[in-house]
Amino acid sequence: MSVVALLALDGVPAHQLSTPGLIFGAASRSFHRGPPYELRVCSATDVITAPPGAFRITPDRGLDGLEDADTVILTGYRECPAAPSSAVLDAVRAAAARGARIGAIGAGAFVLAATGLLDGRRATTDWARVPELARRHPRIRLDTVDFVVADGPFLTSAGVLGGKDLCLRIVEEEHGVPVAVEADRQLFLMLPDPSETLRASDPDEGSARRPFADSGAECHFASTTAWMEANLRHPLTLAEIAEHAGTSVRSLSRGFRARTGLTPLQYLLRARVRRAQWLLEHSDAPVAQIATRTGLGTPANLRHHFQRLNGTTPSAYRAAFRELVGIFAPVERGQVATEDGMWRG
């Protein structure tokens, strides 16, 4: 049995406790050789408060619950305090030192970052909080492309979808793809929360938002990537992206390199392929339509870039995904999966 300890600080969003419970509970039901997980909620305090309803939770264990855990998952919190207590940081460092896997959901990355264990490593957090994490911990190589970022024994995630996928990644590593896929299927392929991933509400119409002029370069960057993701279907040039960001092409490129290791157009291409992957999983749209909706233009372009980044063709990927998940009609008839990950009837 694998022991998973959820380290919850006061102010933890309720979904960051319930999502791991749902994932690991579904995995336990899918694993037919006995229950694979013991899940425990641990905290440095006797009671924790979870907004938005501000209900009170009594943890199963104190920080001693991390001592024999195979995996420690650091949950986030509504506000980002100056630093967690030294007792919390020491407990996380001790768990990492004895070889435990350490995951961080959303703002939980701030706790992990405060230990110093992420210095020099790739990581992510809720994309709205990337600027603050970069300011506090400049030695971390922040990734705003992927929902889940793994670097050694450390996993970090962004938003609701990222927290779900982080837990599924752990299930897959420990028990294989079939158990993870079945757990995901049981949860009916929960959709991303646009408010946490900074996606626009209607990407077909684009976004009228501009970078916050008084929030500094990091907020400019976060707002610009959100705008890019909201307008994938449109042919965006480097000059247009720089104009939207209110900066020069040179400064834009330097900022993207520093934060993602990619040029703006490389980031844009990966975002388009990632959106195509999502549409292949969650809709029956033909490849030609997906190519248009993601801004890749033609089926040939989609196939080329998809295979280069994912190692397989779009059609083969969709077929393999459907076979693993065991579904062939991901949406009800008459519904359409839009580029922002929302359903419209």
Taking the model in full, what pTM does it have?
0.58
Please say whether the beta carbons of 229 and 146 come within 8 A: no
Mean pLDDT of the chain: 79
Quick one: average pLDDT of 314-325?
75
Most confident of 15-19, 93-97, 311-315: 93-97
> pLDDT by residue (tens digit) across 139-191?
999 987 788 899 999 999 986 666 888 998 899 888 877 777 777 766 644 43
Looking at the chain, the whole-number percentage of residues with pLDDT higher than 90 is: 37
Top CATH class, 211-345:
mainly alpha
**What is the pLDDT, as a whole number, of residue 89?**
96
Question: Is the pLDDT at 8 greater than 80, yes or no?
Answer: yes
Question: Is the pLDDT at 82 greater than 70, yes or no?
Answer: no
Confidence of residue 311 (pLDDT cuts 50, 70, 90): confident
In the chain, domain spans: 2-186, 211-345
Please give the CATH topology (third level) of the domain spanning 2-186: Rossmann fold (3.40.50)
**What is the pLDDT, as a whole number, of residue 84?**
84
Please say whether the beta carbons of 197 and 158 come within 8 A: yes
> pLDDT by residue (tens digit) across 83-120?
788 999 999 999 999 999 999 998 899 999 999 999 99
Question: Is the pLDDT at 136 greater than 80, yes or no?
Answer: yes
Please say whether the beta carbons of 107 and 129 come within 8 A: yes
